[in-house]
Amino acid sequence: MKELLADIKARLLNGEYKNEENVRLSLVARVLQGLGWNIWNPIEVNTEFVVVPNEDSKKVDVALFLRPFVPTVFVEIKAVGQMQGKLSATELQMRNYNRDNQAMFTVITDGRNWRFYLSSAGGEFSRRCFKTFDLLDDDPEEVEASLTAFLKKSEIENARQKAEDYLKLNQIQRTAEDSLSEARRRISEPPYPSLPDALVSLVAEKGFLITQDKAVSFIKEAAERKPTTPVFQPPVQPPSSERRSENAGRKRRELNPDNPDSLSHTKIIQGKFDGEPVSKWTELVDCAMRKALENGVPFSSLSGVANVSERNPGDPSFHKIQGTPLWIQGMDANLAWKRSLKLARQIHKDIQVVVLWRDKEGASHPGEEAEILWSPSR
């Protein structure tokens, strides 16, 4: 499976999947075959499956069956980069399909982004999503583990409980986030509880139990996602070639922003651009482009930094930058840093990432962390 996913990733980066059919046949079907499904048996892997014969013509792109007549998984497929703009409509479509003939799991994917839903869960369909991953940006081992846990033929029958556990964690997270503003209001009124105590109480009122430590964790995570100061403050300690990471006990390198080591096989574990948190290389570039546009940088300048378009170019290697009319072509980590740094300098904004090299062949410093930052004030 590792080799299969690595090959698909390389083809995604090369822009080889040109349309929805490419994704269905050359990507999704490959993955399903690698997970033990007999893609040549239409009773087991049914493409263009009619949900309710004799009633309407609703069709699911791929339906998987562990046993005849009872669908196990519905898979809805989009062209690469075409899922985000159509996600709400696709979720509504899949909700309706599952009303007529419910599958245990529903998957929506454009080949790169994958979203897993527990079809039988209550509430809005969007809130039934229990697992997501990005095949390009996320750790390959985590991607493989997710596919194995929730889509491998030999494992899937026992996966419902695990999906319910994931979904419950997601629901508790959302409930805590939704309750934070009310918790902050309560601490200013008698009996003047602490913020964690107020959050524990509010979440309990909505049917979930969390510990005070978990409440503190939720509050801290929310503060990190929505910083109170808009500008990243550089560390005050003297520069050094290495310093201790605050987590995991690793030594953290400090890299020259103009000439960092190779960033191939890295993932961002913490990042900000102009105070806005980012967690992936694609998010960093998208944020940099969006901020540049907001600061008056013309399209002609942006197109000189990266391959961007003012309209959908119809190329699956492009994706839309949320909050803008722009589409941008994907790139590797090294180019993502270089181009984001160039925009940071152009609009005089802080940029900072903490990265972790994956422990694999070709990584410059396997298993190590490094920080790269640039600020106009330094």
Among residues 101, 128, 158, the one where a domain terminates is: 158
Structural domain contains residue 167 = no
List, in sequence order, every residue forming a beta bridge with 268; answer none if it has no partner: 355
CA 65 to CA 160: how far, in whole Å? 15
- Domain match, 97 and 147 both: yes
- Domain match, 53 and 124 both: yes
What average pLDDT does this structure show over 240-251? 44
What's residue 162's pLDDT? 85
What average pLDDT does this structure show over 122-132? 84
Nearest Cα residue to 312 out of 115, 23, 136, 80: 80
- Domain match, 58 and 147 both: yes
- Domain match, 262 and 323 both: yes
Structural domain contains residue 231 = no
Among residues 131, 158, 185, the one where a domain terminates is: 158
- Domain match, 40 and 114 both: yes
In the chain, the number of structural domains is 3
What's residue 39's pLDDT? 95
| pLDDT at 241 > cutoff 60 | no
- Domain match, 146 and 181 both: no
| pLDDT at 275 > cutoff 50 | yes
- Domain match, 153 and 178 both: no
Structural domain contains residue 185 = yes
Q: Under the phi-then-psi rule, with left for phi > 0, alpha for psi from -120 to 50, and beta for the rest, what region is 192?
A: left
Q: Do the beta carbons of residue 32 and residue 132 sit within 8 Å?
A: no
Structural domain contains residue 163 = no
- Give the model confidence (pLDDT) of 194-231 as tens digits: 888 888 888 788 777 778 877 787 777 666 554 433 33
CA 239 to CA 224: how far, in whole Å? 24
With cut-offs at 50, 70 and 90, classify the pLDDT of residue 233.
very low
Lowest-pLDDT range, 166-175, 263-272, 299-308, 328-337? 166-175
- Domain match, 199 and 320 both: no
Domain that holds residue 50: 2-158
- pTM, two decimals, is 0.54
| pLDDT at 23 > cutoff 90 | yes
CA 366 to CA 251: how far, in whole Å? 12
CA 218 to CA 203: how far, in whole Å? 12
| pLDDT at 248 > cutoff 50 | no
- Give the model confidence (pLDDT) of 325-366 as tens digits: 889 998 889 999 999 999 999 999 999 999 999 888 788 888
- Give the model confidence (pLDDT) of 30-67 as tens digits: 999 999 999 999 999 999 988 877 666 788 999 999 98
- Domain match, 147 and 195 both: no
What's residue 56's pLDDT? 63
Question: CB-based burial of residue 269 (10 Å sphere; 0-12 exposed, 13-18 middle, 19+ buried)?
Answer: middle
